[in-house]
Amino acid sequence: MRVRPPMVDDRTLSALEYDALKRLVAPFLRTDMGRRALRDLCPSADPVEVRSRKELSREAMRHHLDGGRLGPGSVEDPEPAVERLRPAGSILEPGEILKVAGAAQAADSLRRDLQAARERYPLLWEVASRIPDLREVTKRISGKIAPTGDLEDSASPQLEGLRRRILVMEARLQKDLHALLDSSAARGLLQEAYVTIRNGRFVIPVRAEARSSVPGIVHGSSGTGATVFVEPMQTIELNNEMVTLRDEEAAEVRRILSEWTEMLRQRLPEIEAACLGLARLDLIGAIAVFGVSFRCAVAVEPRQGRDGEAGESLLLSDARHPILEAGLSAKEEVAVPLTISMQATGGALVLSGPNAGGKTVALKTIGLLALMNQSGLPVPARDAVLPVYRQVLADIGDHQSILESLSTFSARLVRVAEMTRSLDPPALVLLDEVGAGTDPEEAGALAVAIVDHFRRRGASVVATTHHEPLKSYAQATSGALNASMEIDEATMRPTYKLVEGVAGRSGGVDLAERIGLPAELIADARGRLSSGHREARQHMARLQELVEAKAREEELLRLERERLQKERVEQERAVSATVTSLRESWRQAVDQALARMDRAREDLLSSIKERAIALQLRSEARRQSRTLREQLEGALSGPEGGAGASSAGGVAPDRAVSTIKPGARVRVEGVGGRGETATVETVDARGRAAISMRGKRVSVRLGDLKLAEPEPSAPRKTGPPIPAGVRFDAGKKVAAASEIVLIGEKVEEALGRLDKFLDDAYLAGHREVRIVHGHGTGRLRSAVREMLSGHPHVESHAVADERSGGTGATVAVLRA
C-alpha cells in the first residue's frame, strides 16, 4: 500500500525559512504555552482545516482592530506543575499550585470575555467555549498563597491558630531572652546584645571565654571562634514548645498542599483543556497582531472549474516576503512588492532575468506564502488567491555534498528525483535554476522535461532559469507563463519588479561589467556573442520596453479612474449636503408656517361663542394639523423631496385616472371630519382633477381624492346650531363605552381623549358616564373636573361613590 507523503518535508521548510517566519510571530505571544503552540504549528493539507484556521485568523484580526486582546496578562508556565500532577501521591509546592491556578484563572477570564462578545466573534467563542469552568477550584486557592510561595494564614483555621500560638511563643521567648541579655551585658559576658536562631532554636551570642558563666546548650560558634551561641537553660522548655509548634505548622501546611494537589489532580483533564485553550487563544491573538502589523490579507481559495477544467488563477497582488520586509524595515528600506498570477492547478510560471535580480526571492515568496496560507496565517499581500495544496516541494540552493561525492548538479538531480517519487498532486513545486550546472544545451532540454513532467502530473510549477529552451516552452505551452525581473535600461541594474508575460534576459556580461571586470575583457566577451544572440537580446529588450510602456499606461489609467471616482464621491457628498441643507431650510419654513396657521386658528376658534362647536372644530383642526405635518414631513424625507412622489406630485396619474372619472362624487382628504364631498368635473394626464366644491371650482391632486361612500338615508340627530360654512358630520351612530380610564396619561392627551369620549357617549345616548383618573398628584383630576364644568354635553358631575372608585373617579351626567 502506498504511503501518503507529508504535506511538506524538512528540506522545503528549511529552504523557505519557515522557522524564521515563526520567529516573526513569536514576539506577539504572551505565554510559554503559546510559544509551544507556535513551535508545533505546521501547514495542513486538509482544505476544511485550512479554511477553519483562516476564518479564525480573519475574525481575530477584526477583534484586534476593535481593540480586543486575546493573550492573557502575565501567566507563569504551568506545564512542569501539570506534569507533576500526573503521578499519584505527588504533592505540589505552593508556587506550583499558584501557577496552575493562575493559568486556570487566566483561561476562565478569557472565556468570560469572549462569552460576552460571542455574537460578534462566534469563532473565537467556539474556541473559548471549550475552556472548562474552574472557578470553584481557583476560588478555593485564591488569596491563600503569597507571591513568595508561602501559604497565607487564611489557608485553614488550624494553620491560622498554630501561627497565632507561634507568635505568642516567640514574644515570650524574646522577652525572656532580652531580660537575660540585659543582665549578661551588665556583667560583660556578651559579644553583642541580640537574639538569633540556630538549629531552629532561639539563642544569644556569648563571649567564648565567658561560656561557663551562662548555663545552657551551645548551638555553634562564630567563624572566628570568639563567640558561641548559647540556648540559656531558662528558655529550653519554651524553645521545645516552639519547635513542637513549628512541626505542627509544617504538618498542617503539608496536609493543605496534599489536599489542594489532590483536588487539582481530580480536575486534571479540565486543567489541561484550560491550558490548551489558553495556548490556542494566545497563538491566535499573536497571529492577528502579526497580520495587522504586516498589513496582511487572508487568502481566498480559487473557484473550481467545471468537469475538471482549470479553475481561477493563483493570484498574489502586492505580495511581500515577510522576512525580507522585516530585515529591510530595520534598515529603513522598503521591499518591492510582487504581483503574479498563474493557473491554480497544473500551471507553470517561468521566472527569468539577470543574476541578483530577485528571481529566487520571488520564488521563495510564492512558496512561503503558500505555507503561511495553509498554516492559517494571513499573508503579507493586498489580495491573495491561493489553493490548498496537498504538497509543497522545493529545490532551492546549493546541495553540494563532499561526503557523498556529489557535485552541485548531481545533488540537485538527486533532490528532483526524490520529489518526482514523492509527488502527490495537487502540489506546488518550486525549482530554483532548474537544470543548471551542466552543458547549456543539455541543461535546457532537461529543464523543460522536468517542468513538463511535474506539470503533466498535476503540479503547479514555479521555476527560475537562464535557459532559452525553457523560456520558449513557457511561451508556447498552454497553461505556462513567462515572467521576468525588470532591469533599469539606463543603469542596467535590477529594479526587483516582476513583469508578467515576457521572458527576461540574463545579462551576465552586463553584470560582469557592473562588478568591475576590465573594459577590454567586457568588450571581448560581447564581440564573441553570436549575431543570433545579439538579435534575440535586442528583440527581448524591445519586448520588455513595450510591456513596461503598457504597464505605465495601465497605471495612468488606474490613477485616472481613482481620480474620477474620488471626484464623483466628492460631488455626491456635496449634492447630498446641499439637499440636506435645503430640506432643513424647507422644514424650518414649514414649521414656521404651520405655527402661524395654528395661532391664526386658535384666534379664530376663540371668537366662536358656542363652546360645543368650538370644541368640535378645535379637535378637528388638531387632527388636520397633525395630518398636514405628517404629509409634509414625508415629502421632505423622500429621496427627491417626497416619498414616492410622481411627476404630478402625488400618486401615479394612471392609477388615479383609472378609479376617479368626471362626474364621480369624491371626498377631499383633510377637509372636514371625513373629508369634504365634491363632484369631479375633469381629470388631466398630470394627475390633477378639477372639482366643484361649495360652489367653487378647485384644482386638486388625485392623491387627495377618494370615492365618496353613499350618504346614509337615516335621519341624523339634531344638535347644537352650526354656523353657515361649517359642516359637522357625526358619522354613523355606534355603540360607545360609558367609562373611560385615563390613569397614567399626560394631561393634554387625557383631555383630548375625554373630549372625544364625551362626544361619542352623548351621540350614543348615554345618560351617565364614569371617568377614572386615579389619585396621583391631583393635576389630572383637577383638569378633568374643570373640563367637565364647562363642557356643552355635561349637565353635572360629582365624585364617584366608594364602590365606583371614590375620589379616584368622577361621574358625569350628560344632557338629554
What contacts 750, CB < 8 A, 6 or more positions away? 742, 773, 780, 783, 784
Positive or negative, the CA dihedral 217, 220, 225, 228 is negative
DSSP β-ladder status, 493-500 and 480-488? antiparallel
Alpha-helix runs per DSSP H in 607-698: 611-637, 653-659
What contacts 221, CB < 8 A, 6 or more positions away? 208, 227, 228, 229
Count, residues in the chain: 816
Q: Scanning the structure block, which residue is given the C-alpha cell 504586516?
A: 294
Q: In 10 A of CB 126, how many CB atoms?
A: 14
The Cα 153–Cα 155 span in angstroms is 5
The Cα 514–Cα 501 span in angstroms is 27
pLDDT value of position 294: 94
Residue 66 CA from chain centroid, whole number? 6
Positive or negative, the CA dihedral 663, 668, 674, 678 is negative
Which of helix, strand or coil describes residue 530?
coil
The Cα 219–Cα 579 span in angstroms is 98
Q: In 10 A of CB 19, how many CB atoms?
A: 10
Which of helix, strand or coil describes residue 804?
helix
Tell me which residue of 410, 577, 399, 547 sits closest to 484, measured CA to CA: 547
Which of helix, strand or coil describes residue 665?
strand
Please give the C-alpha separations between residue 561 and each of 558, 567, 575, in angstroms, as whole numbers: 5, 10, 21
Which of helix, strand or coil describes residue 466?
coil
What contacts 62, CB < 8 A, 6 or more positions away? 121
pTM: 0.61
Tell me which residue of 375, 358, 370 sits closest to 394, measured CA to CA: 370
Joined grid coordinates for residue 174 = 524574646
Let me know: does 590 contact 621? Beta carbons within 8 Å. Answer: no
Joined grid coordinates for residue 318 = 502586492
Alpha-helix runs per DSSP H in 402-487: 408-422, 440-456, 468-476
Strand partners, 314: 342
pLDDT value of position 372: 96
Point out the residues of the chain with pLDDT beneath 70.
1-5, 185-187, 191, 304-312, 398-408, 437-439, 487-496, 501-516, 522, 524-548, 551, 605, 609-616, 618-619, 630, 633-659, 669-676, 685-686, 694-696, 709-735
The Cα 122–Cα 682 span in angstroms is 64
- What are residue 355's phi and psi, to 5 degrees? -65, 145
- Indicate the DSSP class of residue 732: S
Let me know: does 376 contact 287? Beta carbons within 8 Å. Answer: yes
Tell me which residue of 508, 521, 426 sits closest to 467, measured CA to CA: 508
Q: Let me know the angle formed at the C-alpha of 585 by 581 and 590, rounded to the nearest 5 degrees.
A: 145
Q: What is the dihedral of CA 598, 603, 607, 609, to 10 degrees?
A: 40
Which of helix, strand or coil describes residue 627?
helix
pLDDT value of position 308: 43
Which of helix, strand or coil describes residue 371?
helix
Q: In 10 A of CB 459, how many CB atoms?
A: 27
Q: In 10 A of CB 15, how many CB atoms?
A: 22
pLDDT value of position 640: 45
One-character DSSP codes across 219-277: EEE-TTSSEEEEEEGGGHHHHHHHHHHHHHHHHHHHHHHHHHHHHHHHTHHHHHHHHHH
Joined grid coordinates for residue 672 = 372636514
Q: Characterise 639 by phi-psi region: left (phi > 0), alpha (psi -120 to 50), beta (else).
A: alpha
Tell me which residue of 254, 224, 454, 461 sits closest to 350, measured CA to CA: 461
Joined grid coordinates for residue 712 = 346614509
Q: Let me know the angle formed at the C-alpha of 492 by 488 and 495, rounded to the nearest 5 degrees.
A: 40
Which amino acid, residue 761? A
Joined grid coordinates for residue 223 = 567563624
Strand partners, 625: none
Joined grid coordinates for residue 784 = 378633568
pLDDT value of position 57: 95
Please give the C-alpha separations between residue 79 and each of 83, 84, 104, 272, in angstroms, as whole numbers: 6, 9, 12, 9
Strands of the sheet containing 688-693, edge to edge, are 696-701, 688-693, 676-683, 665-668, 705-707
pLDDT value of position 51: 94
